[in-house]
A and B are shown apart, each in its own frame.
Chain A
C-alpha cells in the first residue's frame, strides 16, 4: 500500500528543474504528480512516477542526489468539498501529516492526495477503517 515517491535535491538555479524533466522524459519516465518544497537556498523536488526504481537509477546516473520515500496515496471526491471532507476525517483520527500535495487523475472522478506521515503502515489501517480509499502502488504507477 505504500507508494514510492522520489525526492531530488535541487539548487535554486535556473534550469535545474528543466534538466530533471528532460532526463526523465528522454528515458520514458512518466510523471503523475509533482511538488517542490523550497527554501531560500535549495529545493526538494518530489515526484510520483510510473517507475520509481528506474527513475532513481537514471537520475543518479545523471548526477542528481535522489532518495526514495514511502508515502500514502488516498483518493478523494473530485468536487468542491471533497478534500475538506477527507481532511476532516484525518483530523478526527489524529493523523499528523508532514506534508501533502494533490493532483487530478485522468481516469476516475477521484482526485489523488499524497500524504507523508510518520508511521505510514499504522496510518493506512486507520484511514481504511475511517472509510477513506487508500490506493495501491500499482494503481498509482499506472496513472
Chain B
C-alpha cells in the first residue's frame, strides 16, 4: 500500500496473493458450474475432455479446462453462448466485425455493475475523483468504449461529458468551456486533437486537462510522450476487449510500469500460441482470460490473440494486481485502424463480390498527420479489366464503398498491374504496416 495513492477498491487492488488465489478459486468453481449447466457449448466441450465441474477445485485446475476462440463466438452468433435467459440480459454490445457475423456480447444487471466497478478502478488509477470532469470521446453505440467509460465515470461520481467521437473543433471548445480534466479516447485521436488545438490557436495552458486514459489501439512510448507534451497531461494506457467485458480489463497506474489486470474478475494466463501450453510468469506469449464474475457471457480461457507477458511483483503503487506489458503484437493478422478491428480476410470477402475469384490484394496501413490511413492495392485481372475507363473506375468505387460499409473505415483503393503484389510460400503476406507503434 502506498500512502500517496488513492485506490477505488483497496481491498481487492491490494489483496495478498494467497487471498487473491482463494477468491479466484471460489469464483472459478462457481463459473464452471454455471457454464456447464447453462451453456450447451461448454458442457459439450467439457464432456469431450472428460471433465466435470467437480474436477475443478482451484485455479490450479484452470489448465484442465478447454479454450474458447473468437470463432466459437461467431459460430454461436448471436446469443448461443449466453448463460442466462435472454430476459435477464439488459445490454447488448457488438465489436466491429466481419460481414454479417459481429462478435456479440451480453450483460446482466450485475455485469453492468461489475463493468462500472472495474472501469471506476481504471479511472481512479489515472487520478479521477468525483471532482473530475471526464470527457468521453470514445464512440457511443454498439462499441463498448463509450458506454464502458461512461458508466465507470458515473460510478466514480465524476461529471461525465458524453460527447462521443468526431467533430474535433467542438470537442476542443467543450474541453475549454466545460473544464474537462480527464480525457478518454484513442491515443491517435488525442494527437489529432492536439494538432487541431494548435490550428485553432488554443494553448494547453487554457485547458484544465490533467490526465487521459487511452486505449482501443496499440500505441508507442513515443506517442505517449507526444500526447503528454502537447496536452500537458498524464497519459495512461488502458486495455480491454468486448468479449471479456470492454474497457476496464487492465490499466496503468500513476507509475506507468505495466497495466494492472482486474484479476479478481478476469484470470489471466499466458500460453504458447502453437502448443497452447501454459507458460511460467515472465514468459512472453498469448494472453488468455477466464471471466469469473460475469453472468451473461462468462468465458473460459478465451484466447485474445494479444502477445504480452505478466509480472506478479507488487507495484510501487501498492497494488498487488498482476501487471501485463503493453501488447507487442498479435498471433493472428488482425489490425487496428483508427480503433476499428480489421481482418485482412474481410477485404477478401469484399473483393469476392467483384468477380469469380478474389484478386490478389495488399493492405498498406500508415499514419499521416496522426490519423491511420488504409490503402488497398488490388491487382487488376482479366475478369475485372474493361476497355472503358468508367467501368474500371466504377469497380474502384464499388470496392471502396463496400470496404467502408463492411469495415466502417474509409480506404483508398489503388488498382495495380498483375504480378506486382508479392507472392509468398504458405500464408500470403497481406499487410504492410508502415506505422511505427
Residues of A participating in the B interface, judged by any CB pair closer than 8 Å: 5, 7, 9-11, 16, 37, 39, 41-42, 44, 46, 63-67, 69, 98, 116
Residues of A near B386 (CB, < 8 A) are 67
* 29 A-B residue pairs with CB within 8 Å: A5-B387, A7-B385, A7-B387, A9-B380, A9-B385, A9-B415, A9-B417, A10-B417, A11-B415, A11-B420, A16-B417, A37-B389, A39-B389, A39-B393, A41-B414, A42-B380, A42-B392, A44-B387, A44-B392, A63-B418, A64-B417, A64-B418, A65-B380, A65-B381, A65-B385, A67-B382, A67-B385, A67-B387, A69-B387
Determine chain B's interface SS by DSSP, over half rule. loop
In the bound assembly, the distance between CA atoms of A26 and B218 in angstroms comes to: 52
Residues of A near B392 (CB, < 8 A) are 9, 42, 44
Q: Is B170 an interface residue (CB 8 A)?
A: no
Residues of B near A67 (CB, < 8 A) are 382, 385-387
Q: Which of A11, A44, A65 contacts B389 (CB 8 A)?
A: A44
In the bound assembly, the distance between CA atoms of A7 and B396 in angstroms comes to: 18
Q: Tell me the chain B residues, 378-426 only, with Cβ under 8 Å from chain A.
A: 380-382, 385-389, 392-393, 396, 414-420
In the bound assembly, the distance between CA atoms of A133 and B248 in angstroms comes to: 79
Q: 7 tightest CB-CB pairs across the interface, nearest first?
A: A7-B387, A69-B387, A65-B385, A9-B380, A63-B419, A65-B380, A37-B389
Known: A7-B387, A39-B389, A69-B387. 4 other contacts (CB 8 A): A9-B415, A9-B417, A46-B387, A67-B382
Interface size class of B (residues with CB under 8 A): 10 to 19
- A20 smallest CB distance to B (angstroms): 11
In the bound assembly, the distance between CA atoms of A66 and B387 in angstroms comes to: 9
Residues of B participating in the A interface, judged by any CB pair closer than 8 Å: 380-382, 385-389, 392-393, 396, 414-420
In the bound assembly, the distance between CA atoms of A46 and B388 in angstroms comes to: 11
Residues of B near A16 (CB, < 8 A) are 417
Minimal Cβ-Cβ distance residue in A for B379: A65
Minimal Cβ-Cβ distance residue in A for B415: A42
Residues of A near B416 (CB, < 8 A) are 11
Residues of B near A46 (CB, < 8 A) are 387
Residues of A near B417 (CB, < 8 A) are 9-11, 16, 63-65
In the bound assembly, the distance between CA atoms of A60 and B271 in angstroms comes to: 49
Residues of A near B420 (CB, < 8 A) are 11
Residues of B near A41 (CB, < 8 A) are 396, 414-415
In the bound assembly, the distance between CA atoms of A63 and B420 in angstroms comes to: 10
Residues of A near B414 (CB, < 8 A) are 41
Residues of B near A44 (CB, < 8 A) are 387, 389, 392
Q: A9-B380, A42-B392 are in contact. Are A65 and B387 (CB under 8 A)?
A: no
Q: Are B382 and A65 in contact (CB under 8 A)?
A: yes
Residues of A near B387 (CB, < 8 A) are 5, 7, 44, 46, 67, 69, 116
In the bound assembly, the distance between CA atoms of A69 and B389 in angstroms comes to: 13
In the bound assembly, the distance between CA atoms of A139 and B393 in angstroms comes to: 34
Residues of A near B388 (CB, < 8 A) are 98
